[in-house]
Structure 1
Amino acid sequence: MIKKNNKTIIGVDHGYGYIKTSKTITKSGINEMIIEPPFNEDILIYGGSVYAIGQHRTEQPADKTENMDYYILTLAAIAKEMKEHNMRRVNDVIIAAGLPYSFMAKQALNFKKYLTKQKNVEFTFEGVKYSINIKGAEIYPQGFPMIALNLGKNKSTEESIVDIGSRTIDILTFINGKPIYDKCFSIDKMGTLDCVDIINKYYLSEYQERIDEEVIQNIFQNKIVSLPDDRIKFVKKVIKFYINNVCKQLDAKGIKYNVTFCGGGATVLKNYGPTIDSSCKIDDDIYGNAKGYELLAYNTIK
């Protein structure tokens, strides 16, 4: 959250796997409930409807304006960010958000309208009433915030950002502050959730049972899990297969040197990927995009 000219900028990274602000992270999961439960944890009430937020990831369409899910998830994300700052009411909110690079031309305007369709919004999250006045929204390509945060030290050198997300991998390449368009693109359906699907496919074939997604996410992060060693070794083998394939595709596109890897998949690359060139680096701050969106909006607002 950043303040400028009496406006409050809140960055929201609308991932297919997780939705993040500069300080919070929630699974991109939403389930509408018939009645309000006796507990209020993860419960959001808006427009007379009751939703459980982030308990289980739910499949989301490529077009985030297709249903109300990402709108409700945005309200939950904003509420969590407001809670971090001990706020219950905020006026003149600017939502700073992003879309995959290849989706921008088609979806950016509709996404902006989607996020700002109601100016004065009141809702309850986890038993607390929130009131926000939405002044506007700024939409940027995913990965672009990391350029603002990481690049520019040697502008004469071609530099790339590779944002490995849950669904897409977004690549942005700049030289002398200008984009190189044939090296700016998205690879759809090759994010970390696609790796989860690959693991489940081969795990089912090998052991005739499924593996919980939460277990896979923990293995991504090299956390301890309650699986036999041989099964953990098998999952790690599939992860290495996936991340090596990602690196091969990037190499084929000439994305190999002076690269900053970011997004949720940056941790997977760090833990399981091949050795990267010394000119490259890994930024595994999962809040990086949301922080960057806020900085970009801060510089955009007059």
Structure 2
Amino acid sequence: MIIGIDHGYSAMKTKHCCFPSGVTAYEHEPYTNRGVLQYEGSYYVCGTGRQPLIRTKTENQNYYLLTLAAIAQEIRFRGAPAKADVVLAAGLPLTTFGREKKNFREYLLGKKNPAVFRYEGVSYEIRISDVKLFPQGYSVMSVHPEVFAGEPSVLLVDIGGWTLDLMRLDNGVPNAATCRSLELGVIRCQEEAMEIVRRDTGLSVTEAQVEQVLNGKRCSVSEEAGRIIRQAGSAYTQRILSAVMESGFDLQAVPSVFVGGGAGLFKRYVTPQDRLCRLVTLPDVNLNAAGFERLAGQMMKR
């Protein structure tokens, strides 16, 4: 079976599942069974907070452990057997795709194949028979081709946890010379909002609370803290607009498609005064993983 996985700094996503990308190791069996991965004699709670920033995702075994947890969650969702052959479909930023592709593929294949582990009390034996890698963001075309239909040029903006990836498509083909990856993901907005709230009110709000307010959902923070967080969201949107313009793209001239976890936030805070040419937002956080899966399926059919 083909399983698409989007390895984010904030969250791990498959086609049907999503959980925070943090990993906490335990020497002994932890207090809860939720999110617990037992692998090679150790226990790991997957889904606690988010992954700290690292230069490459292959520096330690955390993303491999998270991959096993993601496979288990997706298999459980599908009602598939716990002993299975799996083709992994994953992604990398287009700007580093060629440099990181070989190492990331070998990393996901794992040193021991099949991988034998337990997740939330269920035993799994997973043989990763192949790994297909694709550019992040670009996979959206396979899921929503209608978004690009009839447009000779479209700017694709993928707002992730840590990076903001920019890519212009000309007649459906990525223009490699235009690809940019900026460290301007949603985590920056959340951290700045937390700092301003702490400085101006003395309150130490959490990332989860900030995320809730930014998404326009109810949260029991003070009215002043909520106002500051919303102002930070508006300021973050303007920073994105400025960064895109400084990277050589004119959002008032070229249609733009915003994807990723930050797409909904961007849509919420952009204003008519920004005079964007045509804005399409696809805030489904599982979209990249679904795209990877579909592209891998098309390759295997060919």
Q: Answer yes or no: same fold by TM over 0.5.
A: yes
148-157 vs 25-34, which moves further: 148-157
One of 24, 31, 39 as aligned partner of 2:24: 31
One of 48, 70, 81 as aligned partner of 1:77: 70
One of 122, 128, 137 as aligned partner of 1:134: 128
Mapped pair 1:113 → 2:92: no
Report what 1:208 is aligned to.
202
Alignment of 1:12-161 (within 5 A): 12-117=5-110, 118-151=112-145, 153-154=148-149, 157-161=152-156
97-106 vs 264-273, which moves further: 97-106
Mapped pair 1:265 → 2:262: yes
Which runs of no fewer than 5 residues in structure 2 stay unpaired?
A: none
TM norm structure 1: 0.92
Q: Offset of 1:58 from its aligned partner?
A: 3.5
Equivalent position amino acid for 2:119 in 1: F
Report what 1:167 is aligned to.
162
- Give 3-state SS (helix, strand or coil) of 1:56's partner: coil
202-211 vs 102-111, which moves further: 202-211
Mapped pair 1:294 → 2:300: no
Count residues in correspondence: 294
Query: How far apart are the structure 1 equivalents of 2:192 and 2:80?
Result: 42
- Runs of 4+ deviating beyond 6 Å: none
Q: Offset of 1:90 from its aligned partner?
A: 4.4
Deviations 1:134-182 (A, max 9, x none): 1011111110111222346545611121110001111121112332223
Q: Percent identical across equivalent pairs?
A: 30
Equivalent position amino acid for 1:22 in 2: K
Contact 1:29 1:57 survives alignment (8 Å): yes
Q: 1:158 to 1:294 in 2, by over 3 A?
A: same
Equivalent position amino acid for 1:249 in 2: A
Query: How far apart are the structure 2 equivalents of 1:38 and 1:54?
Result: 15
Which runs of no fewer than 5 residues in structure 1 stay unpaired?
A: 1-7
RMSD of aligned Cα (Å): 1.7
